[in-house]
Amino acid sequence: MIFQNNKKINPAAKTGWVAWKRGYEVTQSSVIIEHCLRRLKNDGVMVVLYAKGYQSQATIIYAIQERQILIDKPKDWPEVNKVKVVFKDGADLWNHFPAPVLSVSKDGLCLRKPTEMFMLQRRTLFRVATPQGSKATFVYNKKKCKFKVLDISAGGMLVSAGQDHGVNLYGKTIKEILITLPGNSGTKQVKQKAVRFTVPEGKVVRSMKIPGTEQEQFGIRLFSGAKEERRILQYVRQRELEVMRKSFE
């Protein structure tokens, strides 16, 4: 049994993908890793480099050697000795691998060729936790309600309210939903501004009271127009990158 970060890795990772933690799968297959690196290089797929407190602009892998890979050096390179290289695969799933920095030239970075690679499993409508202060206001039975937003996807959201909110929402249709999500500090390279989404209609498909608290949570399916759905999906992906960056740190 192989150990990585105090967690056992199934030996099957030597030949394929196996379950890891936090929703990831991992592989240590040299064949899979080589194939993936060749695709990144040959197709010019953009990658992003992460280190503590740093997120690069998009860059590319321009050469693959027996034990090293060469990456176009970002203009704001901070001289760190280890990075995580993040990219999307052909199935539009986030992948990453850790890579020590072996040397730095004027225009390029020489990284150690990875021996393991991680892939983030994702549902069709991936959800991300929203920043503190996120809220949703909507109209139900001519009454304006204001709830906290806990997470969101292109197709729905989870909201929370105190038990004294005074409305029975389960199974009900709500109208004129305004979702406000505050920005976050991000990094010097990437900052996310506050955003607002307007959804004409939603349906409360889940309701649950949280034991030991005065909170009640509701799962709401959103019926957005195509334009607003694309905006929400774009936010989800940006937020996913921000959460990923923090997890690396």
Tens digits of residue pLDDT in 155-196: 899 999 876 666 778 888 998 999 999 876 544 444 567 899
Q: What does DSSP say about strands 94-104 and 117-120: parallel, antiparallel, or unpaired?
A: antiparallel
Question: Do 151 and 237 fall within a single domain?
Answer: yes
Same domain, 19 and 95: yes
Q: Torsions phi, psi of 222, nearest 5?
A: -100, 135
Residues 48 and 90 grouped into a single domain: yes
Q: In the predicted model, is pLDDT for residue 244 greater than 70?
A: no
Do 240 and 144 belong together in one domain? yes
**Strand, coil or helix: 74:** coil
Segments forming the whole domain that contains residue 77: 2-120
Stretch 3-18: mean pLDDT: 70
Domain boundary among 102, 120, 138: 120
Same domain, 97 and 168: no
Measuring CA to CA, how many Å separate 12 from each of 3, 65, 117, 232?
13, 26, 14, 37
pLDDT bin (cut points 50, 70, 90) of residue 30 is very high
Same domain, residue pair 138 and 87: no
The domain that contains 164 carries what CATH number? 2.40.10.220
Res. 2: pLDDT tops 50: no
**pTM of the shown model:** 0.54
Mean pLDDT of 71-93: 88
Structural tokens at position 15: 């030949």
CATH of the domain at 40: 2.30.110.10
Check whether residue 139 and residue 113 sit in a common domain: no
Q: Specify whether 107 is located in the same domain as 210.
A: no
For all residues of the chain together, what is the average pLDDT? 84
As for how many domains the chain has, the answer is: 2
> At which of 120, 146, 170 does a domain end?
120
Q: Are residues 108 and 152 in the same domain?
A: no
Higher pLDDT residue, 48 or 230? 48
Regarding whether 48 and 111 lie in a shared domain, the answer is yes
Q: Is 102 left (phi over 0), alpha (psi -120 to 50) or beta?
A: alpha
Same structural domain for residues 69 and 152? no
Q: What are the angstrom distances between the C-alpha of 219 and each of 75, 179, 185?
A: 44, 14, 28
Domain end among 120, 142, 161: 120
| CA nearest to 183, candidates 193, 197, 198 | 193
More confident residue, 182 or 154: 182
Burial 139-177 (b: 16+ CB within 10 A, else e): ebeeeebebbbbbbbbbbbbbbbeeeeeeebeeeebeeb
Average pLDDT over residues 2-23: 69
Q: Are residues 62 and 39 in the same domain?
A: yes
Structural contact between residues 21 and 4, judged by C-beta atoms closer than 8 angstroms: no
